[in-house]
Each structure stands twice: as structure tokens, then as C-alpha cells.
């Protein structure tokens, strides 16, 4: 391992655990104890085995599993990091928000060469999202055709008025609850036992009667088993969407809490942020805002959607899954590729709704060619838009 | 960065475990061997996630087989929608209880009256897989297969078993394992498991094997097949997995396919694509996937070209100019 000042192993491990927690891994006292036990058993000389053991202890999901090598190297072998950055002294990442978000940036921004591709920077007129996202009543009927694309608004983190009032957050959560309740569950052919139902479950009733010596004391009923739809939200956080990303992630977070939606963000690559969305702390709120800040370099919607369909959600997509894409539709990939990606997603049974920040459906060529695969377009630039969408989202 | 393996050392134990699993027909990589060993050493359940057909269930069966000299048993709980405690853990044997009460009532005069505690004893308990696993007196591997198919409520019930290896029966009390079983849970990831369940387990994500490892697996399972056939077929499957398929072929599918080609007396991949198409049912299990794989596409894959890329086009042009 790298040359670092001698500190107690448990202290170094605590530092590593803190870094893991900053990356969303649930590493508590029990995990740290188990990691320490593993370190004692393997010793420092069997690093590969020790790393495998720690990975098994600290990771609890595929997302964390994929994240592990990067975080491990960052802490224990900072000299191997890209650019050969030497870190001396304590290698534990500080609690600096910028650094904790940097990992996500790094993962997402590897193929940055697309910035110069055609379509990366589409000039636009007013977008619907130029209106303050928190002022539902200020929605004016813009006469000019909104084109979407790169926004003329300044960077989100430099703007005032991005703070959400508690009542607005509460209104958003309430809207998310109402919309979730309206999402039609998928009927299955199976039945489940219930206290009341249209059919008598004879087998279960007879089974229960055994406990009463054969008397039918406790009839069992059955009802049709329904599955709530699986909701996936993909939010575009590229530079052109910067002014809308805060609203998009707020909305996504509301649905992550209400409908257990899986939330992904993308610009040139796709990354899942569901764990960030499900925790309600000021730090997480700050991270959610930070996630939206500073991304640049084009939008590869088609590539991100393909990655989503083929890898991230492959086994979870089924008939009736809802995929909501929050984007202006301006793609640096070839226009036909988006149509193919959406068609492949549709072929898995997903129902695709496209939320756009513009008043009208974006005129992006890629999106126009893919319209056949999209079930519905919904404008989303304010809470009022979301409230209006209640009527159409099912 | 290495030291000599000493008896009793984790590295030695790990190597022994790998060898035992290999003898049982399962080629395990170093990291997975470490995780399995650690799960056993820390007495923690092991949750293995991965696509269907990567060898999750096979690991548990191989593990039980590898301990067969010590009389290890494999107890399997196949999860499904609607699985409940009565099917997974225990159920009272009501029929037998009634019989005991009736016999007592009909009573031979000398027979003692049956008491409630008598009919609610271990003797009248029907053991289902979980209870059977914690009741074992020798080594046991408990396989909880496809946990993602069970309902979320069932996960909550599992927590007690996974954390403390015990089951609480209200009428009797808590039944604790006399011999801690090695618990393997598998999941295909069709739904998110609860954090509580995940945190009680060690975790391993099992991916598709590398080319070298898959060749070794196929050779180990089919030693009589020609090496060229095995290598060509595995390379083809590895390329096929990169295609946009609805159902990606797993190791079992590769084995089936190589077995089929071997029985058709091929010593290498046939040049004739119709022969390959005829056996492709071993690999591709959906209509869409079969439809997508025409003879031309297959030929490209067999020849190692995923698609005609820029480099290949450029190379072709250069050759033409030359």
C-alpha cells in the first residue's frame, strides 16, 4: 500500500469507511468491525484477498459493487489515480462536497470528446424553464415557439431564487403522491389471499379449518394480484439543461420517495442516483443540487438510453414499466440512434413519457424521428406543469 | 506482496476451498473463493446477484458437494411470489394433533389426558426448508434461491433467520441452530431487495466469466470435446453476449451448445451457417433474438467481427489500394 504516515489501522479503516459512506455505501459499525476482522485474518500482505473480502462486506448492491474499485484506489492508492496526483498525509477525502460529487463527475464525464459534436450546443430562444421553477402561477402563454436546447440562463448555482420553500416541497410531494396513486397497476393472472374478496379460496379455507377440527371457522378469500408499475426516471443534467435540472431532480426525488422510482442522471454517460434521492437530509439536498452543477460536454441521450435498456434496468423492465425521460431532446448522437434506442426500450414493454422543459414539443430532429415510440409528451418547467400533468399520467 | 501459504492461514483455506469446489465441478475465481471462505469464517449469509445463468445456484450445490465427505446436506428454498412462512419455515401438523386429541378423548381408561403443551411440541411441527436447515446437526448449505421472486413481507421474516440463525415459534419459543448453516441467497435483480436484508449478508456480484475462465469451465465439463471446438464456440458466445439480446446466454447455455455440437461430431465451428443456425436454439431462447441472428450476422460473429467498423473499413481500403 502507499506510503502514508503511520496511523492506527482502525483509524485508517474508519477514514476509508467514511469515504465509502460519502459515496453512498452503507458502512456502519458492524461493517467496520467485520472489515477489521478480515484485515486481522488476512494481514496486509494478501491485499487482493483483503480487497475482495472488504468489497463483499461493504458493498450491498450492484451499484456499489461497480463503484468499489474507484473508491478503493482513491483511498489506498491515490498515486495510481488519473494524472498521477500525489496525495500526502491523510488520504481520506475531506467532507468537501465538491470532492464527493467529483467521483460522480469523473464516472460520467470520461468520454468528453463529444462536446464538439454537431448539436451539442443548440442556440435557443426562451425555454419554458426560464420561468422561475418555483412560481407555478407565473406560467405565461409564451407565444414564441420554444426550441429547447442550450439555455441562455446563467448557471444554476449562480442564480438566486433556487431555494425551495417548505410549502412548495410539500406541494410537490403531494403531487407526486397523487400521480403515483393514479399510475395504473399491472394486473397479473395470480391471486392472493385477502381478508375480503370476490372469490373463496377453498384450498386455504380447508387448510385453515384443520386448526378448528374441520369446522369452516375462518374462510379465506382471494383477490387478483396487482403489481404497481415500476417507475424509472432519467433526468438530463447536461449543460443545456442546467437551469431545469434542479426542478427535474426535485421532481425525481419526490417520485423516488413516493413511488420507489429508480432515478438516473445523464449527459454523456448514465449514472444512477437513486440512493441520493431516497435520503432526506440537508447534506443530501446539497448534493442533489451539486449533482446538477457544472456538467458540460454535450448530451448523449441515445447512448445513455441504450445503456439503461441493456445494462442498468435490463432485468427490471417489464410490461407496464414506466420510463420518464426529463430532457429537451437535443442529442449529440446521430438522430436515428435515439429512435432505435427508444424502440428497443419500447420493445421491452416500457411505456415512455417524455417531459420537456419547453412549452411545446422540442423540435430536435432526433426526438421528432423517435416520436412513434413515445407514448406522451408532457411539458415540465414548473409545479403548475406537474399539476396539469396529473390528468394525463396514468 | 505474497507470503508462503501456511496451514490454517486464510490463503491456504481459500486455496483448499477452490480445489474442493473444482473437484465438485465448479471453477471459482479468486475473489469469489475469498468471499465464500469469509462468509463461512464470519458465519454470515452470502447474497449473490447476477444475471441468470452465470452460476449462482451452481455455487451452492457445488459447495454442498464439496463438503460431502463431512456429510454436508443441501437444503434448498426456491422462492416464488406468495411464498409464506408455512411453506418456508414450519407448519403445525394439525392432522396429527387432531389424531392425538381424538385418541386421548376416545381414551383407554389408563391413558393420560393429552395436554395443550403436548400437541404444541416440536414433535408436531412440520419442518420446512428454513427450519430443516437450522435443525441440522452436521454441516449444511442453505440455498435461498431467487429471493427477488418472493414478496417483500417474506424478506422481513427472513431477517431473524439470517441474523441469528433462529426461528421463533410462538407456541414453543425460539429454536436456535445447533450447527450454523452456510447460507447462500441468490437474486437476479428483478426487484430491489430491502436494505435490511442486504446489510445482513456479504455481497458478491457474479458476472459472466472471462473468455479464459469460460473455456476452462467448458473443458472441465466436457473434457472429451475438441479444444478447437471449445475455444471457437466460447469465443462466439462471448461475442454474442455483446449483442443487444433480450436473453443473454449464460454458462449453462454455452455448455448445452458445445454439447450439441460435440454430439453432432463437430471438431470446430461449422463453416456452414445453417448448421450453426440449427443448434442456435441452445443459446437463444426468445423469438426476437432468433429473428435478429440471421446467417450473415452469425457469420460476422463467427469470424470475429461484431460490426464493420471504421478501422476495418480503413484496412479494407488500404488493402484495396495496395
Summarize pLDDT for B225-241 with one digit per residue, the tens.
999 999 999 999 999 99
- CB atoms A210 and B98 under 8 Å: yes
Q: Has residue B17 been placed in a domain?
A: yes
Q: Is A260 on the interface with B (CB under 8 A)?
A: yes
Q: Is A69 on the interface with B (CB under 8 A)?
A: no
- CB atoms A315 and B10 under 8 Å: no
The contacts found for B272-279 with CB under 8 angstroms, 24 or more apart, are B273/B298, B273/B299, B273/B302, B276/B302
Does pLDDT of B277 surpass 80? Answer: yes
pLDDT tens profile A277-327? 776 666 666 666 666 555 555 788 888 998 898 888 888 888 889 999 998
Q: Has residue B293 been placed in a domain?
A: yes
Report the sign of the C-alpha dihedral through residues A194, A230, B76, B137, in that order.
negative
In the numeric block, which cell numbers belong to residue A291? 449533482
Does pLDDT of A214 surpass 50? Answer: yes
Q: Has residue B314 been placed in a domain?
A: no
Indicate whether B106 and B26 sit together in one domain.
no
Indicate whether B51 and B81 sit together in one domain.
yes
Indicate whether B80 and B146 sit together in one domain.
yes
Provide the pLDDT for residue A83: 53
Secondary structure element (H or E) that encloses residue A288, with its range: helix A282-292
Whether the pTM exceeds 0.90: the reply is: no
Spell out where chain B has E strands: 46-49, 73-78, 90-92, 125-127, 140-145, 166-169, 173-176, 182-187, 202-205
* A45-59, A267-281, B190-204: range with lowest mean pLDDT: A267-281
**Shortest CA distance to A244 belongs to which of A258, A263, A230, A265?**
A265
Q: Has residue B318 been placed in a domain?
A: no
Burial A191-227 (b: 16+ CB within 10 A, else e): bbbeeeeeeebeeebeebbeeeeeeeeeebbbeebee
Provide the pLDDT for residue A285: 62
Indicate whether B178 and B297 sit together in one domain.
no
**Total number of domains in chain B:** 3
**Residue B29 and residue A198: Cα distance in Å, rounded?**
53
Percentage of chain A with pLDDT > 90? Answer: 13
- CB atoms B199 and A65 under 8 Å: no
* Residue in chain B lying closest to A318 (CA): B190
Report the sign of the C-alpha dihedral through residues A368, A373, A379, A381, in that order.
negative
Q: Has residue B315 been placed in a domain?
A: no
Q: What is the DSSP string of B43-68?
A: T--EEEE--TTSSHHHHHHHHHHHTG
Does pLDDT of A150 surpass 80? Answer: no
pLDDT tens profile A233-243? 999 888 778 78
- CB atoms A210 and B190 under 8 Å: no
Angle at B124 between CA B121 and CA B125, to 5 degrees: 90
Indicate whether B43 and B182 sit together in one domain.
yes
Residue that wins the pLDDT comparison between B242 and B308: B242
Secondary structure element (H or E) that encloses residue B298, with its range: helix B295-302
* A24-28, A31-35, A80-84, A351-355: range with lowest mean pLDDT: A80-84
> Of B175, B205, B235, which closes a domain?
B205
> What's the ipTM?
0.83
Indicate whether B262 and B137 sit together in one domain.
no
The whole domain housing B277 covers 211-308
Residue that wins the pLDDT comparison between B201 and B309: B201
> Of B205, B230, B254, which closes a domain?
B205
Q: What is the DSSP string of A131-174?
A: S-TT-GGG-----SPP--SS-SSPPGGG-SS-PPPHHHHHHHHH
Provide the pLDDT for residue B151: 86
Query: What is the rounded average pLDDT for all residues in chain B?
Result: 85
Does pLDDT of B312 surpass 50? Answer: no
Does pLDDT of A3 surpass 70? Answer: no
- Band the pLDDT of A11: cuts 50, 70, 90: confident
Provide the pLDDT for residue B83: 87
Secondary structure in 3-state letters for A55-122: HHHHCCCHHHHHHHHHHHHHHHCHHHCHHHCCCCCCCCCCCCHHHHHHHHHHHHCCCHHHHHCCCCCC
Q: Has residue B320 been placed in a domain?
A: no
Neighbours of B303 (CB within 10 A): 10
Indicate whether B279 and B147 sit together in one domain.
no
In the numeric block, which cell numbers belong to residue A1? 500500500
Does pLDDT of A248 surpass 80? Answer: yes
pLDDT tens profile B25-44? 899 988 999 999 999 999 99
**Shortest CA distance to A299 belongs to which of A129, A134, A82, A148?**
A148
Burial B86-95 (b: 16+ CB within 10 A, else e): ebbbbbbbbe
Q: Has residue B58 been placed in a domain?
A: yes
Indicate whether B103 and B80 sit together in one domain.
no
Query: What is the rounded average pLDDT for all residues in chain A?
Result: 75
Nearest-by-Cβ selection for B34 from A49, A190, A211: A49
DSSP letter (8 states) at residue B146: T
Q: Is B80 on the interface with A (CB under 8 A)?
A: no
Indicate whether B78 and B196 sit together in one domain.
yes
Nearest-by-Cβ selection for B202 from A56, A64, A225: A56
Provide the pLDDT for residue A293: 56
Indicate whether B73 and B135 sit together in one domain.
yes
**Shortest CA distance to B56 belongs to which of B217, B245, B215, B184?**
B184
Q: Is B46 on the interface with A (CB under 8 A)?
A: yes
In the numeric block, which cell numbers belong to residue B13? 483455506
Indicate whether B159 and B85 sit together in one domain.
yes
B80/chain A closest Cα distance in angstroms: 12
Provide the pLDDT for residue A296: 55
Indicate whether B85 and B97 sit together in one domain.
no
**Residue A276 and residue A159: Cα distance in Å, rounded?**
23
Within its chain, how far is the Cα of B56 from the centroid?
3
Q: Which residues of B are less than 8 Å from A213 in CB distance?
A: 98
A309 class by beta-carbon count within 10 Å (0-12 exposed, 13-18 middle, 19+ buried): buried
Provide the pLDDT for residue B110: 54
Identify from B34, B42, B51, B186 which residue to disrupt to test chain A contact, counting A C-beta atoms within 10 A and taking the largest count: B34
pLDDT tens profile A118-135? 333 333 334 443 333 333
- Band the pLDDT of B97: cuts 50, 70, 90: confident
Mean pLDDT confidence for B307-312: 43
Q: Has residue B3 been placed in a domain?
A: no
pLDDT tens profile B107-125? 765 556 777 777 888 889 9
> Of B68, B101, B119, which closes a domain?
B119
Does pLDDT of A95 surpass 70? Answer: no
**Residue A80 and residue A387: Cα distance in Å, rounded?**
50
pLDDT tens profile A33-60? 999 888 888 877 788 889 999 999 999 9
Identify the CATH number of the domain in which residue B51 sits.
Answer: 3.40.50.300
**Partners of residue B140 on adjacent β-strands:** B73
- Band the pLDDT of B317: cuts 50, 70, 90: very low
**Residue A125 and residue A151: Cα distance in Å, rounded?**
8
Strands B173-176 vs B182-187: parallel, antiparallel or unpaired: unpaired
Amino acid at each position: 500500500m502507499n506510503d502514508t504516515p503511520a496511523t492506527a489501522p482502525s483509524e485508517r479503516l474508519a477514514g476509508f469507511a467514511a469515504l465509502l459512506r460519502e459515496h453512498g455505501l452503507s458502512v456502519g459499525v458492524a461493517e467496520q468491525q467485520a472489515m477489521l476482522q478480515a484485515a486481522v485474518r488476512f494481514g496486509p500482505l494478501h491485499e487482493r484477498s483483503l480487497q475482495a473480502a472488504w468489497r463483499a462486506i461493504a458493498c450491498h448492491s450492484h451499484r456499489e459493487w461497480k463503484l468499489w474499485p474507484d473508491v478503493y484506489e482513491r483511498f489506498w492508492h491515490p498515486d495510481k489515480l488519473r494524472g498521477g496526483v500525489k496525495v500526502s498525509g491523510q488520504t481520506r477525502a475531506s467532507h468537501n462536497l465538491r470532492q464527493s460529487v467529483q467521483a460522480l463527475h469523473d464516472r460520467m464525464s470520461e468520454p468528453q470528446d463529444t462536446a464538439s459534436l454537431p448539436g451539442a450546443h443548440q442556440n435557443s430562444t426562451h425555454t419554458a424553464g426560464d420561468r422561475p421553477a418555483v412560481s407555478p402561477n407565473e406560467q405565461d402563454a409564451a407565444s414564441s415557439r420554444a426550441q429547447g436546447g442550450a439555455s441562455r440562463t446563467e448557471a444554476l448555482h449562480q442564480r438566486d431564487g433556487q431555494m425551495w420553500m417548505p410549502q412548495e416541497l410539500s406541494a410537490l410531494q403531494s403531487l407526486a403522491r397523487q400521480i403515483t396513486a393514479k399510475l395504473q397497476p399491472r394486473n397479473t393472472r395470480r391471486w392472493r389471499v385477502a381478508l375480503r374478496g370476490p372469490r373463496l379460496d377453498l384450498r386455504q379455507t380447508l387448510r385453515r379449518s384443520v386448526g378448528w377440527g374441520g369446522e369452516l371457522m375462518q374462510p379465506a378469500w382471494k383477490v387478483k394480484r396487482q403489481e404497481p408499475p415500476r417507475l424509472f426516471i432519467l433526468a438530463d443534467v447536461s449543460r443545456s439543461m442546467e437551469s431545469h435540472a434542479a426542478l427535474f431532480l426535485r421532481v425525481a426525488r419526490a417520485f423516488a420517495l413516493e413511488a420507489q422510482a429508480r432515478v438516473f442522471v445523464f449527459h454523456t454517460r448514465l449514472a444512477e442516483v437513486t440512493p441520493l434521492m431516497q435520503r432526506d437530509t440537508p447534506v443530501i439536498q446539497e448534493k442533489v443540487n451539486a449533482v446538477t452543477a457544472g456538467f458540460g460536454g454535450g448530451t448523449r441521450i441515445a447512448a445513455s438510453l441504450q445503456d439503461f435498456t441493456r445494462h442498468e434496468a435490463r432485468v427490471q423492465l417489464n410490461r407496464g414499466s414506466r420510463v420518464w425521460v426529463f430532457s429537451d431532446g437535443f442529442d449529440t448522437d446521430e438522430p436515428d440512434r435515439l429512435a432505435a434506442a427508444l424502440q428497443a426500450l419500447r420493445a421491452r414493454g416500457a411505456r415512455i413519457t417524455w417531459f420537456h422543459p419547453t412549452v411545446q414539443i422540442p423540435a430536435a430532429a432526433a426526438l421528432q424521428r423517435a416520436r412513434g415510440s413515445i407514448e406522451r409528451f408532457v411539458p415540465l418547467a414548473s409545479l403548475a406543469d406537474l399539476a396539469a400533468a396529473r390528468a394525463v399520467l396514468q | 506482496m505474497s507470503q508462503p501459504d501456511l496451514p490454517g492461514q486464510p490463503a491456504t483455506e481459500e486455496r483448499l476451498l477452490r480445489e474442493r469446489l473444482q473437484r465438485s465441478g465448479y471453477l471459482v475465481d479468486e475473489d469469489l473463493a475469498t468471499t465464500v471462505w469469509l462468509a463461512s469464517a464470519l458465519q454470515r449469509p452470502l447474497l449473490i446477484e447476477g444475471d441468470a445463468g452465470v452460476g449462482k445456484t451452481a455455487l451452492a450445490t457445488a459447495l454442498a458437494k464439496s463438503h460431502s465427505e463431512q456429510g454436508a446436506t443441501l437444503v434448498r428454498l426456491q422462492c416464488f411470489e406468495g411464498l409464506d412462512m408455512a411453506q418456508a419455515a414450519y407448519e403445525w401438523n394439525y392432522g396429527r394433533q387432531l389424531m392425538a386429541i381424538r385418541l386421548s378423548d376416545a381414551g383407554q381408561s389408563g391413558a393420560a389426558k393429552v395436554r395443550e403443551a403436548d400437541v404444541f411440541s416440536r414433535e408436531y411441527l412440520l419442518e420446512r426448508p428454513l427450519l430443516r436447515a437450522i435443525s441440522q446437526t452436521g454441516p449444511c448449505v442453505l440455498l435461498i434461491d431467487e429471493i427477488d421472486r418472493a414478496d417483500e413481507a417474506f424478506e422481513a421474516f427472513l431477517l431473524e433467520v439470517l441474523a441469528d440463525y433462529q426461528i421463533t415459534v410462538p407456541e414453543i419459543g425460539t429454536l436456535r441452530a445447533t450447527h450454523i448453516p452456510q447460507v447462500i441467497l441468490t437474486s437476479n435483480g428483478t426487484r430491489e431487495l430491502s436494505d435490511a436484508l442486504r446489510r445482513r449478508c456479504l455481497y458478491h456480484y457474479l458476472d459472466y466469466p472471462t473468455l479464459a475462465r469460460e473455456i476452462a469451465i467448458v473443458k472441465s465439463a466436457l473434457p472429451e470435446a475438441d479444444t478447437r471446438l471449445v475455444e471457437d464456440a466460447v469465443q462466439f458466445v462471448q461475442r454474442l453476449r455483446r449483442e443487444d439480446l433480450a436473453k443473454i446466454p449464460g454458462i449453462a447455455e454455452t455448455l448445452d451448445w458445445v454439447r450439441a455440437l460435440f454430439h453432432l461430431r463437430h471438431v470446430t465451428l461449422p463453416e456452414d451457417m445453417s448448421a450453426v443456425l440449427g443448434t442456435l436454439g441452445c443459446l437463444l431462447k426468445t423469438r426476437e433474438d432468433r429473428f435478429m441472428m440471421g446467417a450473415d450476422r452469425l457469420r460476422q460473429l463467427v469470424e470475429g467481427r461484431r460490426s464493420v467498423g471504421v478501422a476495418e473499413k480503413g484496412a479494407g481500403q488500404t488493402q484495396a489500394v495496395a
